A and B are shown apart, each in its own frame.
Chain A
Amino acid sequence: DAKTTQPNSMESNEEEPVHLPCNHSTISGTDYIHWYRQLPSQGPEYVIHGLTSNVNNRMASLAIAEDRKSSTLILHRATLRDAAVYYCILRTYYGQNFVFGPGTRLSVLP
């Protein structure tokens, strides 16, 4: 299975942008890049996903490197509610599940 590498933890100040990196050097051409987050004591929550082009939605932006070996989740203005574990996941063609790694624990400071 294609794997992802993320920093264990990151900190941000409230109302500042946050860039969460993810490396996926073994990504294949048909793998989608998904981002989920898990707030304390809750189930994982969909954030955004993309294949090749950068993507925007109401929650975040996803910037995908031209060679697709890395991506960055961008939260434009972090709030305290954005404190969570963020998971970068590659969705492979043959996989039935999402393979969750340890993710990045984001702390947001007031």
Chain B
Amino acid sequence: DAGITQSPRYKITETGRQVTLMCHQTWSHSYMFWYRQDLGHGLRLIYYSAAADITDKGEVPDGYVVSRSKTENFPLTLESATRSQTSVYFCASSQTSGTADTQYFGPGTRLTVL
């Protein structure tokens, strides 16, 4: 069982370029999330989605765009990458938003913006 996968695992890009990070889950979970993790910070939520075609902002959404046309996919796009977006990005999914529910995380994408 694949679970939740992210691609690419590593990406180097230049300032101003558009970059899309992919996330795919095989559980048909309703909720999907994008976090970023920087040195000195915990994980911070960028965007989340409660279902296909339903998305909402998290704590740090500026500079990012998301879409969710299919339940299993939740791509994250940096429309014009900046050096401050150098980070490790984690995708996660959960069946519900209930307080007892578990989030399952992908392996992460390490993005470097030069």
Contacts and interface: CB of A to CB of B under 8 A. Distances in A.
Interface of A: 30-32, 34, 41-46, 49, 51, 87, 91-93, 95-103
Contacts of B97: 96
Interface string B42-55: 11110010000000
Given A87-B42, A103-B42, A98 B99 contact: no
Contact of B100 (A32, A43, A45, A100): A32
Interface residues of B, number: 23
Interface stretch (B13-21, B61-69, B77-85, B104-112): B104-112
18 contacts: A30-B99, A32-B100, A34-B102, A41-B108, A42-B107, A43-B90, A44-B90, A44-B92, A45-B105, A49-B100, A49-B102, A91-B100, A93-B99, A96-B33, A96-B45, A96-B48, A97-B35, A97-B45
B90 to A, nearest CB: 5
Q: Is the interface of A mostly helix, strand, loop or mixed?
A: loop
Nearest to B33: A97
